[in-house]
């Protein structure tokens, strides 16, 4: 929900509230959940590395290894 503050908003109206539909809010919440999950996963890497546990899916690691230049 977007709230236009004390200044005049669209159409010269004060304090106008724009409603968002449920599908838009659900989609935004889904993106937020994915971003939080990835962030938590990345922040946990040092902790898991100290215990020698791999938390990154092997498929992701294999894709990145193929892109690295060979020396």
The separation between the first and the last C-alpha atoms of the chain, rounded to the nearest angstrom, is 53
| Predicted local distance difference test score (pLDDT) of residue 1 | 47
Specify the DSSP class assigned to residue 44.
T
pLDDT at 51 over 80: yes
Q: Is 18 helix (H, G, I), strand (E, B) or coil?
A: strand
Is residue 1 included in any domain, yes or no?
Answer: no
Percent of the chain residues past pLDDT 70, beyond the cut: 62
The residue range of the domain holding 55 is 14-67
Residue 57: predicted pLDDT: 78
Does 7 reside within a domain?
no
Task: Quote the radius of gyration of the chain (alpha carbons, Å).
Answer: 22
Q: Note the pLDDT tens digit of each residue in 3-35.
A: 445 554 555 566 676 677 888 899 999 999 999
Where do we find the tokens 């937020």? 32
Instruction: Considering only residues 9 and 51, tell me which one the structure prediction assigns the higher pLDDT.
Output: 51
Are 19 and 1 in contact, with CB atoms under 8 Å apart? yes
Q: What is the pLDDT of residue 12?
A: 55
Number of domains in the chain: 1
């Amino acid at each position: 929900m977007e709230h236009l503050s004390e200044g005049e908003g669209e159409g010269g109206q004060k304090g106008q509230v724009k409603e968002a539909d449920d599908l838009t809010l659900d989609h935004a919440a889904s993106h937020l959940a994915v971003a939080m999950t990835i962030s938590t996963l990345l922040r946990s890497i040092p902790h898991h590395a100290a215990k020698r546990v791999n938390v990154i899916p092997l498929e992701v690691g294999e894709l990145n290894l193929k892109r690295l230049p060979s020396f």
